[in-house]
Structures are given as structure tokens and as C-alpha cells.
Amino acid sequence: MKKLLIICLTLFTLNVFAQNNTEPSKHSDTDLKYRVSFPAIILGNIGKGGERTNTQHIEFHIKRELDAKNIIGLKFATWRLFQPMGIQWWDGLTDKIDTETEFYPGYLRETGIGISYQRMLWKGLFASVEVLPLYKTYLDLDNKKIANGFKLYNSYHVGYHFTFGKKKQFFIEPQFHCNVWHFDTNTPESFKQLNNKWDSYFLFEPNLYIGIKF
């Protein structure tokens, strides 16, 4: 969380500097129809190696602007969970990570390809929705497979789109998510007992996306 806040503040400062010092350009954002982005949170896993709390999170987005207001895209994501995702901030999320009281007896690996829709509301303000079908693999602490399952993971986002660079081809998108998952199938009993203690959604997840348009 601290790493994410530092990244957000640094990039926001760079964005303000760039906007104030970039020469005016005849180039229009609408000339750049495609974009690729990733969440800065994945950078926090660098150097963690085999740590128990390493989520091994990888996520990329490829999007296309249909017009100035509407953007569609594909999302690829994979991550490894070490405890239930539905523990809220006010439930003592960070404390439970420190005490390891809610850790799974292994790991849950989730991988999927989904779709997204982003709507520009006012200037850089936007709202978006993402639908991500996930293939689940349950592993023990020795990374041996226990079971497979399926989850439908949806997320709802509100954020702001900042561009910078001479052609405004680079961008950052600070935002908040609300995540919910359905049709969570074939969960082993030892994992299910922990999941059932918590919600099937997670509210107010802060994030920052970094990307380039082309």
C-alpha cells in the first residue's frame, strides 16, 4: 500500500510538470486509437521471489478507442492468492497479513482473459467495468495441485485519465475499484471454510495504471 501511494504521488508530480512544460502540439489524442497499460501494483512484487505473500500478479490491458467517449479492451491477468480476497480494509486486512491468521493452507492461482468497457464522463474523469472469467488452480504449500475450478470476476472502476509527453502518448490513471465475484466453483473444503468467513466482494481498492497510446 505504501509503495503504491509513493508511485501515485511521483507519477502525478511528473504529469503536472510535463503538462506545464510541454510545447503545444497539433497532435490530437483521437489520432492514437490503441493503448496498452498495466497496474503499478504489479511492480510491488519485484524482488519478493518466493515470499509467502508474493501474489505473482501479472496484468495487461489492450484497448481501442471507438470514439472520444467510448473505449473497449481485452484484459489478461494472473495472480496467486494466499488468503481470501474478501477481507475488507475495516476488517483489519493488513493486520491479518502480518499475523497470518487467515492464510490458506496453500495457494489459489487464478488466470483469465476478459473484456472491458471504459466511458469518458468529463474531461479525464471516467468509469469502467471489466468482466474476467478466471480458471482456478488450488495448490498446497509445495505447489502441488489440489483441485481446479472457475470464477467469474467483475470489477467497477472510477478514475481520472492524465496524459503527458509531446504527443500525449503516455498516460496514468489513478482510480478506485469495487470488485465482486460469482459462480465460484469447486473450492476445496479447507479453502472454503476461510472464504465463507468473508465477503464475496472487495470495496475501494486503490490502484494506478500506467500506459502508452499508439
Residues 6+ apart with CB under 8 A from 131: 114, 115, 116, 152, 153, 154
In a domain, 52, yes or no: yes
Residues linked to residue 74 through DSSP beta bridges, in sequence order: 62, 115
Range of the domain at 14: 2-23+36-213
Assign 174 to helix, strand or coil. strand
**pLDDT-flagged residues of the chain (< 70):** 1-30
| Per-residue pLDDT at 45 | 85
| Per-residue pLDDT at 46 | 84
In a domain, 158, yes or no: yes
| Per-residue pLDDT at 50 | 81
In a domain, 101, yes or no: yes
In a domain, 30, yes or no: no
Looking at the structure of the chain, the number of domains it has is 1
| Per-residue pLDDT at 30 | 56
Residues linked to residue 107 through DSSP beta bridges, in sequence order: 139
| Per-residue pLDDT at 77 | 98
Do the bridges between strand 162-164 and strand 107-122 make them parallel or antiparallel, or are there none, so unpaired? unpaired
Side-chain-side CA neighbours of residue 34 (13 Å): 4
In a domain, 29, yes or no: no
| Per-residue pLDDT at 14 | 42
Rounded-to-integer distance, Cα 68 and Cα 209, Å: 19
In a domain, 28, yes or no: no
In a domain, 120, yes or no: yes
| Per-residue pLDDT at 86 | 97
CA distances from 48 to 55, 135, 140, 178 (A): 9, 24, 19, 26
In a domain, 31, yes or no: no
Q: What angle do CA 181, 74, 82 make, to 5 degrees?
A: 40
Burial of 163 (0-12, 13-18, 19+ CB in 10 A): buried
**pTM of the predicted model as reported, rounded to 2 decimal places:** 0.83
